[in-house]
Amino acid sequence: MNPRKESLQFKIHATITETEQPKWWEKNGGPNMVDIHSTQEFLNALSEAGDKLVIVEFYGTWCASCRALFPKLCKTAQEHPEIVFLKVNFDENKPMCKNLNVKVLPYFHFYRGADGQLESFSCSLAKFQKIKDAILMHNTDRCSIGPVKGVGDVNLETASAPKNKQAESST
């Protein structure tokens, strides 16, 4: 066999190996879609978002519903560059997910600046309109009313509410 031909075959094979496609959850959904790998990254991303709407998707790499929904979620992120989309791998972040009451996948949390968590729900591809409706409801211009106080059971700041504030009565 011609040595030059063997070399050419090797180069072609090496090129194919180097361009292996990313796994579905590793695909880039755009500059406003961020992978979260720890509780600290999650808290930092929420803090850095300021008063922007933040949509957090909790997913599993093994979850067929998560995989089916992902392309539509990426398209929505591209259509809404003003919204921050965070992707949290359930298996990488089990303690945080447990603290945030994530029990089924895919699961979504909506956050906004000083208002903290606005809404949370499970959603499949068949019910994607639920996400669009939540975006319509929560993606409005607003002014800041102060720093974020908390995210579910994960506190963003250690300071507690003022101690001299009286409890409100419902009578």
Q: How far apart are CA 93 and CA 96, in angstroms?
A: 6
Q: Is 63 a catalytic residue?
A: yes
The active-site residue out of 66, 97, 123, 143 is 66
Confidence label for 167 from pLDDT (cuts 50, 70 and 90): very low
List the one residue out of 28, 24, 156, 29 whose CA is nearest residue 100: 156
Instruction: Report yes or no on whether pTM surpasses 0.85.
Output: no
pLDDT in tens, 80-122: 999 999 999 999 999 999 999 999 999 999 999 778 899 999 9
pLDDT in tens, 115-135: 889 999 999 989 999 999 999
Q: How many Cβ atoms are within 10 Å of 45's Cβ, its own excluded? A: 18
pLDDT in tens, 65-82: 999 999 999 999 999 999
